[in-house]
Structure 1
């Protein structure tokens, strides 16, 4: 498994500029968090980033299924693809631990996550699918969205056995584990850190310090 450096942002009003900086620094992808109680709309900022950048991969890391109807996320994915191209877009989906906790809710059961991902993927393929007792289909005509099928990789935000099973069934990889998870070609690992101001370094205590002045 080749190591590729990407970055993840707690989505802000400046995330599109942060993605541009990440692209200039050579990062492979920029992931934006999805939590409307805490951050701006993830799709708006991803589309702004697509218009601001040329090469860096973009995607939500990770979507919370209960926040939006499957058609809404399918249309949003299609919009981002129309701006960035299929080869730059990847979609992370999780059970909504942080995003739902901020709304006073528990994470979604994995069986519901799996059904949601199946539905969104079917819509992107151009299929008709039943959701909440109704048959739905992407009806976008030329000029209102890219042609179907739309094929983008899905990563499942999982660490335990149930989520990993969903990733094996429906995803191209896993997202957000503290260590790589074997059995996947694509395992996104989150390592938290910070950016130091110019002229500052890390000390043994783990706190930044100014470098010692030169001896004279």
Structure 2
């Protein structure tokens, strides 16, 4: 009696454990991510289980901070180099007596980059009057295509070099809110006067608060 032929299934290709791909970030550029493909047999049940794939995305972005004592050419070249190397943020110290004016340099950095976010690390609400800071940042937002961040603190080197103490937290909190609201096109009441920038492009302004030591 002839023997029955056993049916054979086509060979299944086993996926590699790790593949590399790219994913757009909030800044509009692609960064590498690692994807693990899960399609290995489930030994306990004796059946193959096609498990869903899952993705590991690095949660870390990198930035660099320049002390504004370089030449204009050096600032521009370092900024271009950092962006080409994949850095997400470019920052400048803000102590107008010790170093060069950061907002002029931020305009230079904006014109020499396309994706990098830029900002002060950090400014303060005493040596920089908040409505003036808001106006400068709103124009830089227009120049950079909305790539500015506000880095702000109570003031350390910028204040101490003038023989003055840092501001208190209440002043810092009020100034931060005023700067962000004005830059984003909202109306504010500051020192008893209602203000609004009718000309701003209303781009979102991320805020970073600096601090150290005991609570002020």
For this structure pair, what is the TM-score category when the shorter chain's length is used for normalisation?
A: 0.5 to 0.7
User: Going by fraction, where is helix more abundant, 1 or 2?
Assistant: 1
Provide the rounded CA distance (Å) in 1 between the counterparts of 2:76 and 2:131. 24
Pair member with larger Rg? 2
Q: In the alignment, which of 27, 37, 59 is matched to residue 2 of structure 1?
A: 59
* Residue number in structure 1 paired with 2:201: 147
Give per-residue Cα distances to partners, 1:81-136, cap 9 Å, x unaligned. Answer: 112122x3211101111111111111110111001111112212323322223222
Residue 162 of structure 2: SS of its match in structure 1?
coil
Provide the rounded CA distance (Å) in 1 between the counterparts of 2:124 and 2:145. 23
Residue 66 of structure 1: SS of its match in structure 2?
coil
- Indicate if the aligned counterparts of 1:59 and 1:92 stay in contact, CA closer than 8 A: yes
State the Cα distance separating 1:152 from its structure 2 match.
Answer: 1.6
Provide the rounded CA distance (Å) in 2 between the counterparts of 1:89 and 1:127. 17
State the Cα distance separating 1:22 from its structure 2 match.
Answer: 1.4
Shift >4 Å, 4+ stretches: 160-163
Residue 65 of structure 1: SS of its match in structure 2?
coil
- Indicate if the aligned counterparts of 2:65 and 2:93 stay in contact, CA closer than 8 A: yes
Provide the rounded CA distance (Å) in 2 between the counterparts of 1:3 and 1:82. 27
**Aligned residues: CA RMSD:** 1.9
* Residue number in structure 2 paired with 1:111: 170
Give per-residue Cα distances to partners, 1:19-73, cap 9 Å, x unaligned. Answer: 1221122222110111100111111100111001122221111111112222211
- Indicate if the aligned counterparts of 1:16 and 1:46 stay in contact, CA closer than 8 A: no
* TM-score, normalised relative to structure 2: 0.66
Give per-residue Cα distances to partners, 1:176-212, cap 9 Å, x unaligned. Answer: xxxxxxxxxxxxxxxxxxxxxxxxxxxxxxxxxxxxx
Provide the rounded CA distance (Å) in 2 between the counterparts of 1:152 and 1:16. 23
Residue 178 of structure 2: SS of its match in structure 1?
helix
Unmatched tracts of structure 1, length 5 or more: 141-145, 164-216
Residue 130 of structure 1: SS of its match in structure 2?
strand
